[in-house]
Amino acid sequence: MLTLRKTSAGFGLNLGAIDEAPSPAAREVTVEVEFAGICGSDVHAYEWTEGYGFMVPHLPIVMGHEFAGRVVKAGAAAGVKEGTRVTVMPGIDCGVCPNCARGDSRNCQNRASIGLTRNGGFSRFVTIPGANCLPLPETVDTELGALTEPLGVGCEAVLTGEVGLGDTVLVMGPGTIGQAIALFARAAGATRVLIAGKADGPRFDVMRDLGFTDILDVAEAPLRDLVMAATGGRAVDVVLEATGYPPSVTDGLGVLRKSGVLVVAGIHPGPLTLPLTDFVRARHQLRATHGCARPTWDKVLGLMAREPESIRPMISHRLPLARGIEGFELARQRAASKVMLRP
């Protein structure tokens, strides 16, 4: 079957055929993948930026961790019936380490990741644990279902930032995660959601299609000037960063009110230089978010079930898996918002 794999440490991916996915064990299922999204972290792995060396012992590996499809084979104890339309949680817990034993499976010490440390969704079939499959609501098709994971990441960031009713929020980065953050900040009751990016025309357009009008282009003026002009000189309550560009964190702190929260969601290729005295005197709270907790998936699916079409504008390109490299280049060059591949 045709797959998109990372085969070696370095730039690029390999588009080629491998054997069919193995038959599922008792607690596993085989999913026929209908849609798989290209994530920003997939692009980082494609470029082989710093921070992805953990993949080396697992290469070659079929990538893809944002996907949905239909269960075509199910083991006797999989807990999912054949024919079920599912979205897939990519994190696999070991169940036996000290953290798992005390119920803290999100911090599993031996955590595996579908699409990064074991074969993922850039293939027609993939065999995975049944426990990682969540049935899709009737109103949510598998194309939208493939957005569940990035939407969960955005929702978790908003929960981490404790966005509340009446808040003014700044989202830094208009990519898929930034879009998800903006959607859930609005759902959490934020009065205004400002979106900052740099010469990001296609993704700014997606933000507008999602209903956001406060678009700030830092290619035109410094972030602080743009925010102060938009808010009438008032600092924002929460900053949610999804740029992957370390200096943006410092820029965000510069427009954050005293005691405000800045959440870092981006994956960054280098260190951050932080003006600590200013940080301390402003009593700013700097928090990190990564992935999403199991209950967050339920929140996301609940929102998707109520308003499925409201999120479809996030998808800008649909390509067959055979054009997967083209899709990666579109994402890499920021010429696309979310690229969906059809295995």
* Whether residue 62 has pLDDT greater than 90: yes
**For 151-288, CATH number?**
3.40.50.720
d(CA 222, CA 36): 36
pLDDT of residue 285: 97
**For 2-147+311-342, CATH number?**
3.90.180.10
pLDDT of residue 47: 95
Residue 142 confidence class, pLDDT cut points 50, 70, 90? very high
Q: Which residues pair with 81 in a beta bridge?
A: none
Residue-averaged pLDDT of the chain = 96
Instruction: Read off the amino acid at residue 130.
Output: G
What strand order describes the sheet that includes 14-17? 14-17, 2-6, 61-62
Structure tokens at 108: 């599993």
Q: Which residues contact 300 (CB under 8 A, 6 or more apart)?
A: 148, 151, 152, 155, 292
Q: Which residues contact 104 (CB under 8 A, 6 or more apart)?
A: none
Tell me where in the chain the CATH 3.40.50.720 domain(s) lie: 151-288
The average pLDDT across 113-136 equals 97
Of 61, 64, 45, which is closest to residue 53 (Cα–Cα)? 45
Percent of the chain with pLDDT over 70: 100
pLDDT of residue 269: 83
Query: Which residue do the tokens 């930034």 mark?
Result: 178
Q: Which helix (H) or strand (E) holds 182?
A: helix 176-187
d(CA 189, CA 166): 6
pLDDT tens figures, 233-242: 999 999 999 9
pLDDT of residue 30: 98
Contact 35, 142 (CB under 8 A): yes
* Whether residue 113 has pLDDT greater than 90: yes
The average pLDDT across 260-289 equals 95
- Asked which of 103-107, 136-140, 212-216, 253-257 is least confident by mean pLDDT, the reply is 103-107
Task: Outline where 48-147 has alpha helix (H).
Answer: 98-101, 142-145
Q: Which helix (H) or strand (E) holds 241?
A: strand 236-241
Tell me where in the chain the CATH 3.90.180.10 domain(s) lie: 2-147+311-342
pLDDT of residue 208: 97
* Whether residue 51 has pLDDT greater than 90: no
Residue 270 confidence class, pLDDT cut points 50, 70, 90? confident
pLDDT tens figures, 164-188: 999 999 999 999 999 999 999 999 9
Contact 311, 183 (CB under 8 A): yes
The average pLDDT across 147-152 equals 97
Residue 223 confidence class, pLDDT cut points 50, 70, 90? very high
Of 147, 128, 125, which is closest to residue 136 (Cα–Cα)? 147
Contact 336, 330 (CB under 8 A): yes
Angle between helices 40-47 and 324-332 (to 10 degrees): 100
pLDDT of residue 50: 84
pLDDT of residue 106: 87
pLDDT of residue 163: 98
Contact 70, 31 (CB under 8 A): yes
